[in-house]
C-alpha cells in the first residue's frame, strides 16, 4: 500500500503507531536512522515520521519536489504514515503554538517510543527540534495541558531517544543495521534534489557533495564495528536503560 503525506490530520488518517521519529526537515530521519526504521518495520512495528517543516528554505529543489521525494522515500522505508506539521523552516522554536502541534501528534498517534535529533548540532533547527520534542514528550502526559484538540486524552510515550546528525556523541546504544544499510541509502537517494547528482546544476551544499555519501557509509561502518557488525546507527538516551542478559544467555 502506497503511503501519502498527511499535511493535516483527519479522523480517517488516525492510527496508533508504535514509533514516531521526528525531524526538522524531510530527509533528516532517513539520514540519521533510516536503517533502524526499516528494521523496525520488518519486525512488524507500525512506524511513522513527523516532519516539522517542509524544508522550504532548502538551497536545492523546491517545497513541492521535496514532498514528492519524501513520499518516495517513505514507500521504500515501509512506514505507515508521514505527517508534516508545516512549521516554518529556519524558525523552529518551542513556542506555545508549536508545542501544541507536537503534543497533538503524540496524543493522536500514541507512539510507545519517540525519536528526535540530538540536542547539539550545526543546524539551529535541529537543536530547536530536540528541545521542542523533549518538551512535548513531557507535556503530552499532563492532563491539565490543553492542546488545540481538546478531545485528545493525555498520553506519554515510554522513551525518548536521540539520533545523530552532524555532531557526534557517545552513544547509549548502537543499533545493528547491517541487513538494512542498502535500503537506508535507497531511501536517502530518493531525495534526488538534495544529494550529489552530476546533472544537477543547482548550488552545492554541505550534503550535496559526493564526499557526504562516503561519510555516511564510513560513519555507519564505524559504529557497526564497535558492536561487531557491518553497519550501525548510534542513539542517545538521557535516562538509564535496563539491560537484559536473556538475549546473550539463551541457547
Quote the pLDDT of residue 185: 95
Q: Which stretches of the chain drop beneath a pLDDT of 50?
A: 1-12
Q: How high is the pLDDT of residue 194?
A: 67
Residue 196 has what pLDDT? 67
Q: Rounded distance, CA 191 to CA 28, Å?
A: 11
Domain ranges of the chain: 5-249
Q: What is the 3-state secondary structure (H, E, C) of the chain?
A: CCCCEECCCCHHHCCCCCEEEEECCCCHHHHHHHHHHHHHHHCCCCEEEEECCCCCCCCCCCHHHHHHHHHHHHHHHCCCEEEECCCCCCCCCCCHHHHHHHHHHHHHHCCCEEEEECCCCCCHHHHHHHHHHHHHHHHCCCCCCCCCCCCCCCCCCCEEEEECCCCCCCCCEEEECCCCHHHHHHHHHCCCCCCCCCCCCCCCCCCCCHHHHHHHHHHHHHHHHHCCCCCEEEEECCCCCCCCCHHHHCC
What is the predicted pLDDT for the residue at 61?
A: 63
Question: CB atoms < 10 A from the CB of 227, how many?
Answer: 15
pLDDT for residue 59: 66
What's the distance, CA 18 to chain centroid? 14
- Domain 5-249 CATH (choose: 3.40.50.10320, 3.40.50.300, 3.30.300.30, 3.40.50.261): 3.40.50.10320
- pLDDT on residue 200: 73
Cβ atoms 165, 219 nearer than 8 A: no
Query: For the whole model, what pTM was predicted?
Result: 0.90
Amino acid at each position: 500500500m502506497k503511503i501519502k503525506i498527511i499535511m493535516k490530520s483527519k479522523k480517517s488518517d488516525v492510527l496508533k503507531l508504535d514509533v514516531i521519529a521526528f525531524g526538522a526537515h524531510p530527509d533528516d530521519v532517513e539520514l540519521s536512522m533510516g536503517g533502524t526504521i526499516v528494521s523496525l518495520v520488518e519486525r512488524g512495528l507500525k512506524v511513522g515520521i513527523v516532519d516539522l517543516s517542509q524544508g522550504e528554505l532548502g538551497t536545492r529543489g523546491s517545497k513541492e519536489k521535496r514532498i514528492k521525494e519524501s513520499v518516495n522515500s517513505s514507500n521504500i522505508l515501509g512506514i505507515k504514515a508521514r505527517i508534516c506539521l508545516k512549521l516554518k523552516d529556519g524558525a523552529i522554536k518551542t513556542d506555545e503554538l508549536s508545542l501544541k502541534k507536537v503534543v497533538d501528534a503524540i496524543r493522536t498517534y500514541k507512539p510507545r517510543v519517540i525519536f528526535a535529533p540530538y540536542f547539539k548540532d550545526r543546524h539551529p533547527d535541529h537543536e530547536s527540534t530536540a528541545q521542542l520534542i523533549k518538551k512535548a514528550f513531557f507535556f503530552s502526559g499532563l492532563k491539565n495541558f490543553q492542546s488545540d484538540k481538546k478531545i485528545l486524552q493525555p498520553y506519554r510515550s515510554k522513551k525518548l531517544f536521540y539520533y545523530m546528525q552532524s555532531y557526534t556523541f557517545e552513544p547509549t546504544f548502537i543499533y545493528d543495521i547491517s541487513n538494512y544499510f542498502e535500503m537506508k541509502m535507497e531511501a536517502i537517494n530518493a531525495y534526488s534534489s538534495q544529494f550529489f547528482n552530476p546533472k544537477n546544476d543547482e548550488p552545492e551544499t554541505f550534503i550535496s557533495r559526493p564526499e557526504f555519501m562516503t561519510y555516511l557509509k564510513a560513519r555507519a561502518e564505524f559504529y557497526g564495528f564497535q558492536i561487531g557488525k557491518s553497519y550501525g546507527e548510534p542513539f542517545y538516551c538521557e535516562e538509564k536503560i535496563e539491560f537484559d542478559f536473556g538475549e546473550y544467555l539463551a541457547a
